[in-house]
Structure 1
Amino acid sequence: MVILATVLSVLISGCMVSSSPLRVPPPALDNVRSIGKVWAETSTENEKDGRRQIENLLIIDVGAASKREALDKASALLVARKWTVSAENRPTIVSMKCTKWKDVTLVLRPFHPAYFEEYPEILNKLKGLPTEEKSLVYIEIFDGVI
């Protein structure tokens, strides 16, 4: 009887853990937001191995003169905040991790409207911005593996 109760307890607690979504810790989001002026932000929900995962999408102005400079500057600002480059294919994409948030990953790209065709509310927020598109970066940040 004790064994059955233990097994049920483990199964129930395992189910409870897997039912809670993977979310980026708020301090990690604040750390990323601090690299510039956040013009737009949203989140999406995906499922990976039966577990919900919340992915945050941010568009940040880093005050750059070109898309390449925006990517390089955002990457350098994040490195200064203890993020490390885990993969890169410049001038297109940089992936980064931070030891402070073990399973959190971010993907950094120069902004392009095509990334947001499924998010018209984001594109509407960006209309008439008092900034140049070339100064913007697009960041996807998530906890876990997509």
Structure 2
Amino acid sequence: MGEMLLIRADGLRQASCTFRTVMVLISACLLASGCMLSPSTLRVSPAALDNVRGIGKMLAETSTENATENGRQIENLLVIDVGATSDREALDKAANLLAARKWAIDGENRPTIVFMKHANWPDTHLILRPFDSMYFKDYPEILKALKETSVKEEALVYISLFEGEI
């Protein structure tokens, strides 16, 4: 009978150890899946924003938050003076200045729009357009900031930057 109790005790010890291992694994899976399912915020890298801001004189900037399937996406909107004399020249000049900073054209429909990507920030999308105040009707702070300058609209570009899907 002493041997039987010893075998049962060893069996319980093994079962207890197995149970603990299974519980730790289940807890780890639940924790990991909880983290994966929690809403995330997609933001453009500050280094990418600084890189783009450097192509000219920053006149105005704002951001907007959009809901996505898995959380939120922050879109940065920039208005930059590139010192051009026409809308077309502004777009071309800004695209060239960005290309000099290693941004590559991903698509275009000139003279209206240029899409760009950068190898250092592969999930960042850049959309470049000649400035038009109609893009900012929902952003009165941008229009107000621009009214306080003496810059001509044809010298400006509008750049949208965001992480994630287009």
- Interval containing the TM-score (normalised by the shorter chain): over 0.9
Q: Which entry has the higher C-alpha Rg, 1 or 2?
A: 2
Q: Helix, strand or coil for the counterpart of 1:21?
A: strand
* Distance (whole Å) between structure 2 residues aligned to residue 139 and residue 88 of structure 1: 14
Q: Per residue, is there more helix in 1 or in 2?
A: 2
Which amino acid in the other structure matches residue 162 of structure 2? F
User: Which position in structure 2 is the counterpart of 1:11?
Assistant: 33
Residue 144 (str. 1) matches residue 164 (str. 2)? yes
Instruction: Give the percent of matched residue pairs that are identical in Structure 1 and Structure 2.
Output: 58
Equivalenced residue count is 144
**1:62 aligned residue:** 82
Match of 1:46 in 2: 66
2:49 is aligned to 29
**Equivalent residue for 2:136, pick from 116, 122, 130:** 116
Distance in 2 (CA, whole Å) between partners of 1:128 and 1:14 is 46
User: 2-side partners of 1:140 and 1:14: how far apart?
Assistant: 28
For 1:12, what is the secondary structure of its paired residue?
helix
**Secondary structure of the residue that 2:32 maps to in structure 1?**
helix
TM-score by length of 1: 0.94
Please give the TM-score of this superposition, normalised by the length of structure 2.
0.83
What residue ranges of structure 2 are gaps of 5+ in the alignment?
1-22
